[in-house]
Amino acid sequence: MASAQDVVTTFIQTLERKDIDAAVMLLSSDVSYENMPMQPIVGRAAVRVALGSFLNAATRVEWVVSRTVAADNAVVNERVDRFEINGKWLELPVAGVFEVNGDGLITLWRDYFDLGSYTQQMADVMGQGSAADG
């Protein structure tokens, strides 16, 4: 069976190619997806909606993993999640925590990041960041 680390690596690859069907197949039915500044998103169907909303906004997705540390069923990584939107790149440093069950499915996905860094850049790429008068 694939190691927990292999499952997380494959999961990230599905996100990079915006293959939401394949991504969701790697999640347990009761998965908890926790962006720490926000409420947890629980269950495969809800996570599918969330993935769609942020993946489909981007023309390209690259998650650059700089470190992975794994122990038993847990995987922790440091990443820069990059999204190309309107021809500009949004880049978000993230520390991610994953737990993988005995069926090789992700049961927990918890990301630590600065929400303000995300929202500011999103406003910039959407062209709402620097409106000039006159």
The residues, any chain, with a CB within 8 Å of residue 116's CB and separated by 6 or more, are none
In degrees and rounded to multiples of 5, residue 31 shows phi and psi of -55, 145
Three-state DSSP at 48 gives helix
- Rule CB under 8 A: say whether 2 interacts with a second copy: no
Lookup: tokens for 75: 């995987």
Give me the catalytic one of 6, 19, 72, 111: 111
Under the binding rule (CB under 8 A), the answer on residue 69 touching a second copy is yes
39 binds a second copy (CB under 8 A): no
Region near a second copy per CB under 8 A, out of 8-16, 25-33, 67-75, 126-134: 67-75
Clarify whether 81 is annotated catalytic. Answer: yes
Q: Which of residues 103-132 bind a second copy (CB under 8 A)?
A: 110, 112-117
Sequence-distant (6+) residues with CB within 8 A of 98 are 4, 7, 8, 11, 74, 75, 76, 77, 106, 108, 109, 110
Minimum gap (Å) between residue 132 Cβ and a second copy: 26
Which residues are identified as catalytic?
81, 111
Contact footprint for a second copy (CB under 8 A)? 36-37, 67, 69-71, 74, 76, 78, 93-95, 97, 110, 112-117
